[in-house]
Amino acid sequence: MAAGKPVVILGVFVADTAYRADRQPRMGETILGNSFKLGPGGKGSNQAVAAGNLGADITFLTRLGVDAFAEMAKQTWKQAGVKSAVIDTPDSYTGAAYIFVEAGTGNNAIIVSPGAAMLISPEDIEAHAGLIRSAGVFVTQLEQPIDAALKALDIARGAGVTTILNPAPAASLPDRIYTLCDYVTPNETEAEGLTGIKVSSVDDARRAADALLAKGVGAVIVTLGEKGALLHTKSRSDHVDAVTVGKVVETTGAGDAFNGGLAAALAKGVEPLEAVRFACAVAGISVTRPGTAPSMPTLQEVEALLAKA
């Protein structure tokens, strides 16, 4: 599979700092933890790494501080073949997430401080309009300010670029944003947040997708965890089964693996239904490995899996 048309992703990088302990400390208390792990995170960055590992011609657009976590971000992208359009922001800091994991249950509590990425503005997007217009596929999420995402989708749509909005984390959106999206890719929770329709089955997902089509979206892809994904347009509705590879280790990066895989496949000219199958395989491999960015598979691994299936 050749690299295809360029992919541009607008989003956020955060350094994930994960602490595992028997319980959370009470206010004013210090306790000993069982383990600590530092790793790359942020939805947009994870999606860029997924696409890069799959051989896409990918550029990631974001803001970073000028600090050690920014170096970690750049190293992560370099390893995955991701080009970056970074706006250095010395008066802020690179985003970070505090992740507490309860040892006995695996339950977590998270604080995210996006730092410099929260300063991404419509003016920043305008300054990179040429980059966005040069893409075959443009992807964004909702971790950076919505007015920046809206501006970028507007520029991409005006240039005839295929646009993907991954509406995560769930947020209330201006009506105009939907008409700028060729694809919207919510999970069950996000689909409910956007439409008010609870998604517990494939039929529920179809109803929620219809509500999103009515808002002006071109096509809806609802990711359904172990139930796979639903590709829903005005003319057809296809349920694609999940691709099961082995024991599930961690599902944190599955959505990002899916979106990165979808963008990479569409940029290579793959038909939408095949692109969703490909994205399900990318996600299927990622959940068998720990971490988010480090769990993203290579193109060879995905192609070998699809050949077997």
Binding residues for substrate: 14-16, 42-46, 143, 256
Query: CA distances (Å), 232 to each of 162, 167, 217, 235, 238, in order?
Result: 17, 16, 10, 8, 6
Please enumerate, by residue number, every residue annotated as part of a binding site.
14-16, 42-46, 143, 187, 223-228, 252, 255-256, 286, 289, 291, 295
- Asked about 256 being catalytic, the answer comes back as yes
Q: Active-site residue among 124, 154, 204, 256?
A: 256
CA distance 19 to 192: 31
Please enumerate, by residue number, every residue annotated as part of a binding site for K(+).
252, 286, 289, 291, 295
Structure tokens at 73: 């971000």
So which residues are the catalytic ones? Answer: 256
